[in-house]
Every structure is written in C-alpha cells, then in structure tokens.
Structure 1
Amino acid sequence: MTSIFTDKTVKPSDDDLKKALGKNYTFWHELFSFTLQKYPESSFDWHFSGQKFGWGFRISDKKRVLVYLLPRDQFFKIGFVFGEKAFEEICNSNISEHIITELKNTKKYAEGRGIRIDVTDGSLMDDFKKLIEIKIKY
C-alpha cells in the first residue's frame, strides 16, 4: 500500500497530514514527540521514495533511521529496522506477542529485520514507545 501523498512536487504540510490521518493524527504527533524527547539530537524530514511508495516521514540519528512514519488514508504505519541485539531484547520483553511474532517471521537482511505496523488507534502506543526506546538503545 502506498502513501496517501504521491505528488513528488508537493511535500506534505502539517495541515495535509491532519486531514489525511483524521483522528489518528494525535497518535502520529505523540510518537513523533516521544522520539524527540528520548533522542533530542534526532533529525527528521519527509522523504519521497518514488512513485510506488510516495512520501514518508523519517526520524533519524546521525547514522540511521530510528522510526519511519508512513501516512495512509485515515491511519499510518510505523516502521522500524532492528539489528540482532535489539531483536533479542524485543523477544525477551513484554511487548505484544503479535508484534514479536511478526518480527520473528520477517526476513532477516544485513541491516536487520524490518517491520511495519498499522496505527489505527491508540491500543499499541505503549509497545511503540518501547520499540522506539529499544531502537535508540541499539
């Protein structure tokens, strides 16, 4: 599924995002703010990944992306890539069994295991925050 923002010539504004995400904008903003609070040196910006994927939002440290926020119609996806140490910590944590199972079932690449999770309500916010903390740690 592609971003709701597909026009390469128009970088999404905060108003565009609020309109696109509806009630789920508050969760986007909460996760964005949480990441900056936990890692104040982070940088962030919209990135156009080609016509097939459209615009996505990245929050990064100096060397890597910490969190991907990918806007859809009335929801968004949160994405991570975890190395082996982070993966092990997640597997031994109290994060939702569904997330752990999905991460275990993803293909392992040189840069780690990638996962994208739909954010359609606030039910997994605590898990997302734990994942952000683990990503920052490793």
Structure 2
Amino acid sequence: MLENAFINRPTPPADGDLAAALGPARAAWDEFLATLARDQLADRHEWKCHSPKWGWSLRVCRKQRTIVWLSPGRGGFNVAFILGAKAVAAARAARLPASVSSALAIAPKYPEGTGLRLVVKSVRSLPALRRLAAIKAAN
C-alpha cells in the first residue's frame, strides 16, 4: 500500500495538491471517478479524515452507501472496497486479473465485510476496478 500523501494536513487536498501528489496516476483517478458517475455506480463523493495520522481519503458513494474509498499517495492511489459475502462470491466468480483475485484471497475479514485493498498507478487497472464497483453496487 502507498502511504497517504496528505497525513497531518488540517484541510482536504486542493486540486493542485492532489495533481502534484498523484503525478501521472491523476489520469487514472479522474477516469475512475468519471466512469463510476457515468455508469451510475456513484453519485457523490466527499473527503474524509478519520485521523490526522492516516491522512485524507475520498469516500465515493451511491446514495448513502459507500462504494469505494480512494486514498491518494505519491505516484498512485489506494483503492479500498468493503465487500459483503455476496459481493465476495460474485468477485470470485468474475473474471478478474490474477493480482486482484490473489488480493481478494488474502483480504482481511471484518464484521462489516472483506476489506479488499489495491494500489493503482495507471489506467490499466481500471477495468477490474469498474467490475468490482459494479459488484459492490449490486450486492
């Protein structure tokens, strides 16, 4: 996982700060958010900071339900899904890249679901992320 680029910051990152931190991965960040909106998998997002030592993350929602968390790092970003049992079963049945399937197999289990975390540095990761978001939204 990438370290959050906005640790100990009192305010959410401005657009320029986000672009500087993400670097070339900014294109993947923007395209992923646009895809979620276009496919009606998300209708809003908000910056959250649960603790200054963890930094700022973008909570992406559909109505009141969180679909995915995006956490900006230097040169990329972390993506976190909390998947319920039905969503985990659907993800396992989906044709996802081996790296995503492996991450799912070792993902920690929490009372609220399985915590799948992935690192994104380019747009090549987006088809799998879009499928995971669709699975999360449907289950």
TM-score when scaled to structure 2? 0.90
Aligned to 2:51: 50
CA RMSD, 1 decimal: 1.6
Aligned to 1:85: 86
Question: How many residues in Structure 1 have an aligned counterpart in Structure 2?
Answer: 138
Distance apart, 1:135 and its partner CA: 1.1
- SS in structure 2 at match of 1:54: coil
CA deviation string 1:10-37 (max 9, x = no partner): 2211111111111100000011111112
Q: What percent of counterpart residues are identical?
A: 26
Aligned to 2:15: 14
- SS in structure 1 at match of 2:75: coil
Amino acid at match of 1:19: A
Give every structure 1 segment of 4 or more consecutive aligned residues whose post-TM-superposition deviation is greater than 4 Å.
none
Structure 1 residues not aligned, in runs of 5+ = none
CA distance in 2, matches of 1:101, 1:131: 14
CA distance in 2, matches of 1:26, 1:84: 32
TM-score when scaled to structure 1? 0.91
- SS in structure 2 at match of 1:123: helix
Q: In the alignment, is residue 31 of structure 1 matched against residue 32 of structure 2? A: yes
Aligned to 1:136: 137
Distance apart, 1:40 and its partner CA: 6.6
CA distance in 2, matches of 1:83, 1:40: 17
CA deviation string 1:52-107 (max 9, x = no partner): 21101111123331011100011111111111111111111111122112112222
- SS in structure 2 at match of 1:49: coil
CA distance in 1, matches of 2:104, 2:130: 16
Distance apart, 1:8 and its partner CA: 3.8
CA distance in 2, matches of 1:75, 1:99: 17
Structure 2 residues not aligned, in runs of 5+ = none
CA distance in 1, matches of 2:41, 2:85: 25
Highest RCO, 1 vs 2 (Cα 8 Å, sep ≥ 6): 2
| CA separation of 1:59 and 1:41: change in aligned 2, threshold 3 A | closer
